[in-house]
Amino acid sequence: MQSSGHRFRDVDHHPLLSSEDDFECSSGNVEVVDRIWFIRDGCGMVCAVITWLLVLYADFVVTFVMLLPSKDYWYSLINGIVFNSLAVLALSSHLRTMLTDPGAVPKGNATKEYMESLQLKPGEVIYKCPKCCSIKPERAHHCSICKRCIRKMDHHCPWVNNCVGENNQKFFVLFTMYIALISVHALILCGFQFFFCIREQWSECSGFSPPVTVILIIFLCLEGLLFLTFTSVMFGTQLHSICNDETEIERLKNEKPTWERKLRWEGMKTVFGGQPSFLWINPFSGIRIRRLIPRTLKGGAEFAV
């Protein structure tokens, strides 16, 4: 339930409902979601595919251009295991971010039946989103791409084709962290590779011709620098938001908090789940296997299976 201070802050942006108001949403449009989440956005899907292709390209260059041709068995083995493990963790975190419901409010729940179940007292006010016809919880914002109100929405990221919100922020943080780590690792390996190739014959340090080897490694260096810069900045801003219990949207709008903030350590435990453990950095935590069921949503932008 919103406080009166919050009501006056948002009253110009969102229609209000009270127990005496009329309802435009029928109960037949209420949506219950318990399936994998996926956003059918063309730009987001293209960006997600590009992300995977770039990671796979880096893995190809590291594995087949730099490590396998190396004469040092243990150097190739250890770096191959580390790099490929980080790549798997990064892509798994990307999938979890993309396929996890970020905290969407059910569509069309602003019905008379639902309002009556809330047992509102006279004069109590709640918020209705006119775009998705749902009761809008505190700190929720409407995403025009997902076409849903998202709890604790931080931003919509096309590279993961999803919003970053209450339920998938952990996986987004892990995605940026693991991408930054494999970028650093790739840059270090590129430096060693150039050193080895200059010290020896270029034709002996790679299975590819010298010009092709140079082009592949230079492109990998550029990719690593770009990814490292982007993901490091995002990783830092996400940790800052978590420790201050303030989403990027709330910071940009300069919204005054009407909630009890969970600062620093409490915020980290809320997002990553409980006390510090291996589960904090595990993108497979909490995963549940369900039978795939196709579903059609009326007027929706997402496809759940």
Question: 79-116: per-residue pLDDT in tens?
Answer: 999 999 999 999 999 999 999 999 988 887 777 777 77
Q: Position of tokens 């949503």? A: 297
Does the pLDDT at position 14 exceed 50?
A: no
The b/e string for 186-224 (b: 16+ C-beta within 10 A; e otherwise) is bbebbeebbebbeeeeeeebbebeeeebeebbeebbebb
Per-residue pLDDT of 120-150, as tens digits, reads 777 667 777 888 888 888 888 899 999 889 9
Per-residue pLDDT of 31-51, as tens digits, reads 444 467 899 999 999 999 999
Per the prediction, the chain carries an average pLDDT of: 81
User: Are 108 and 26 spatial neighbours (Cβ–Cβ below 8 Å)?
Assistant: yes
In 3-state terms, what secondary structure has residue 117? helix
Grade residue 289 by pLDDT with cuts at 50, 70 and 90: low
User: Are 39 and 301 spatial neighbours (Cβ–Cβ below 8 Å)?
Assistant: yes
Least confident range of 7-16, 104-113, 166-175, 189-198: 7-16
pLDDT at 75: 93
Rounded CA gap, 86 and 39, in Å?
Answer: 26
Q: Write out 240-265 in H/E/C secondary structure.
A: HHHHHCCCHHHHHCCCCCCCCCCCCH
Rounded CA gap, 255 and 141, in Å?
Answer: 12
Does the pLDDT at position 30 exceed 80?
A: no
Which phi and psi (to 5°) does residue 151 adopt? -65, 135
Choice between 233 and 10, residue whose per-residue pLDDT is larger: 233
pLDDT, mean of residues 179-200 = 91
C-alpha closest to that of 8 among 249, 262, 256: 256
Residues forming the active site: 157
pLDDT, mean of residues 226-231 = 96
